[in-house]
Chains A and B, each alone.
Chain A
Amino acid sequence: MSAQAGTVALSDHVCAEIDRWIEKFPEGQQRSAVLAALHAVQHETGGYLTPALMNAVADYLEMPPIQVYEVATFYSMFETKPVGRHSISVCTNISCMLRGADDIVAHIENRLGIRTGESTPDGKFYLKQEEECLAACCGAPMMMVDHRYHENLTPAAVDEVLDGLE
């Protein structure tokens, strides 16, 4: 990642979204909007951040690009490599583990023919390695697909969710 990667134009929609966030912070603290900006950019452009996109965010928020890269790599919701269109995170933390999360992961790996951490060759699914508990422990086992929570999973319920994705 470097400045040589150049930059790209942010869409009007993304700029408006970033501006909405900047307004929440005191004068001169627009850097506080960087997480929101990266969410917006990643959402609009296919699920991951390229150096050019991060540079554009840095320009927009008047931050050194390195500070944007640091943020992008620190937080687990940002992807800095190409990943499948639909992001699947199965919680395997303690409460979910006690209620069969590992079987859910195995079911998805079998169904998609990939291992956790990989994307399907057709670019449709990304099975993310989720380290955190997603705070739906009483609905264990659970997964998050494109930010939406699905609780009390069974293999059949997983199939239904995945079948419903474009």
Chain B
Amino acid sequence: MPEHDLVCFATRRFESEPWTLQNYLAVGGYQAWQKVLDGELDRAAIIEQVKASGLRGRGGAGFPTGLKHSFMPREAPVQKYLVCNSDESEPGTCHDREILRLNPHSLIEGMAISAYAMGATVAYNYIRGEFMDEPVPRFETALQEAYDAGWLGANVKGSGIDVDIHTFVGAGAYICGEETGLLESLEGKPGKPRFKPPFPAQHGLYGAPTTINNTQSLASIPTIIRKGPQWFVDIGVEGSSGTAIFSVSGHVEKPGNYELPLGIPFRELLEIAGGMQGGRELKAVIPGGSSVQVMPAANIVDLTMDFDTIKAAGSSLGTGAVVVMDETTCMVNMLRRISRFYYAESCGQCTPCREGTGWLYRVLTRIMEGSGTHADLDMLVDVANKIEGHTICALGDAAAWPVQSFLKHFRHEFEYMIDHGGRSIVSAPDAVAA
């Protein structure tokens, strides 16, 4: 795709300090916000444009962003908030960090436009604590530049519009990426998700109407407003507009964050990422971060990377984190590592999640240690089914889906290990881990 079409990575073309205001202005930055400040677009018009663009949330659920913004009581005479979710912690996902480091102004402009559209005068960017050394200062420096240039604050450029943006820094907890866990954290509490309803658009930060959006979702908005929604629609495919940043990791020659049109064929994406490491065979792909269902190679190689196609094939595009596994990968070991993560990160509020994630991890460990039984496999699925859909937040589902899908597609690897005292099928003498 031609470089000038890039959305969130527009400034990556600059070799020197891509993150500066000067470079952002050179790629059309703040023109969309200027239009709003000039009164060319009112609140409803902005939301209509975002709706028409077909932008779907990049935080994992793919929820239509314009629709979400329309849920806010934008004209209600109460304080309202926009919160950006830069907690980026879904395993495999690392593109929000790149936006913060390389194009922070796109996020600032997107936050300003969106906050205004929803009638919010205050916005917070919740950045994960581990980003404190580089992405946080990068974002704060950009924020200062934006204030100094008069793009933020009270009565921005005499428009009568007030928008303040603040940085918030987390302290390490995956669950703070869940939007209501994030709000709790922002209020200075442990990040334990809230029961819904009420939804944040009614009762969010400090009890006020609040919308939470992912970094990449918000950073896409300025370009959509500047170039028009149709431009964005035309880049992608039906049901999946625009570009998305794919974090391609694992067994590829060139792991990286690639901003590409949604609907790109998987094969092309793999090729852009340099192909399989060492020319080995592709075994499986997790197409959207560790929370989504694993796909055997045969199920994905001929597909296109868009929300509806991947969903129809039994998984999810999630965060666009594409984890590539070659023939040498032990699927039991993979699943055990994934299960350890959800066990460690469960906030403990719901019994099925707190207890179930521990069971999953312990049973998988037992299998790897050579003392698993065939009955354990049915038990794993049974425990996963009992977690799925029975918890306050979607971490429970995220813990269940990998278990269900790994066992559905790679059950023979688990059986082999049970039958061979803990030896993996990939270390077998005649290993062909089909």
Contacts and interface: CB of A to CB of B under 8 A. Distances in A.
Contact of B189 (A38, A71, A92, A138): A71
Given A33-B188, A94-B92, A133-B89, A147 B130 contact: yes
Interface of A: 24, 26, 29, 31-36, 38-39, 61, 63, 67, 70-71, 74-78, 92-95, 97-99, 131-140, 144, 147-149
B393 interface: no
B255 A70 contact: no
9 contacts: A24-B167, A32-B187, A35-B185, A94-B91, A94-B337, A135-B128, A137-B323, A138-B94, A138-B256
Interface stretch (B245-253, B261-269, B303-311, B417-425): B245-253
B171 to A, nearest CB: 4
Interface stretch (B49-57, B152-160, B339-347, B381-389): B339-347
- In order of increasing CB-CB distance, the 6 nearest A-B pairs are A76-B172, A75-B171, A95-B249, A31-B188, A74-B190, A131-B344
B206 A34 contact: no
B286 A36 contact: no
Contact of A147 (B133, B256, B321, B337): B133
B133 A29 contact: no
A104 B421 CA distance: 27
Given A32-B187, A75-B172, A94-B91, A137 B249 contact: yes
B341 A138 contact: no
B72 to A, nearest CB: 18
A132 B169 contact: no
Nearest to A34: B188
B323 A98 contact: yes
Nearest to A35: B171
Nearest to B326: A98
B130 A94 contact: no
B334 interface: yes
B249 A138 contact: yes
B269 to A, nearest CB: 13
Main SS class of interface, B: mixed
Residue from A36, A38, A70 with most neighbouring chain B CB atoms (10 Å): A36
Given A39-B169, A94-B92, A135 B323 contact: no
B290 interface: yes
Contacts of B223: none
B372 interface: no
B130 A135 contact: yes
A138 B249 CA distance: 5
Contacts of A76: 171-173
A29 B249 CA distance: 40
Q: Which of under 10, 10 to 19, 20 to 34, or 35 or more describes the interface residues of B?
A: 35 or more
Nearest to B255: A138
A98 B331 CA distance: 11
B275 interface: no
Interface of B: 79, 88-94, 96-97, 124, 128-134, 166-174, 185-191, 206, 247-251, 255-257, 286, 290, 321, 323-325, 329, 333-334, 337-338, 340-341, 344-345
Given A77-B172, A98-B249, A149-B134, A35 B129 contact: yes
A103 to B, nearest CB: 14
Contacts of A92: 337
B188 A132 contact: no
Given A94-B286, A131-B340, 7 more contacts: A29-B188, A35-B171, A94-B250, A94-B338, A135-B88, A137-B91, A137-B93
A32 B170 contact: no
Contacts of A132: 89, 91, 130, 172, 174, 341, 345
Contacts of B172: 75-78, 132
B132 A147 contact: yes
B4 to A, nearest CB: 24
A147 B344 CA distance: 21
Contacts of A134: 130
Contact of A77 (B134, B171, B250): B171
Given A29-B187, A139-B255, A140-B255, A75 B94 contact: no
A162 B431 CA distance: 38
A26 B323 CA distance: 41
Residue from A38, A93, A144 with most neighbouring chain B CB atoms (10 Å): A93
A51 B131 CA distance: 26
Nearest to B343: A131
A95 B92 contact: yes
Nearest to A63: B188
A148 B133 contact: yes
B101 to A, nearest CB: 10
Contact of A39 (B93, B171, B333, B334): B171
A123 to B, nearest CB: 22
A153 to B, nearest CB: 13
A75 B185 CA distance: 10
Contacts of B334: 94, 97
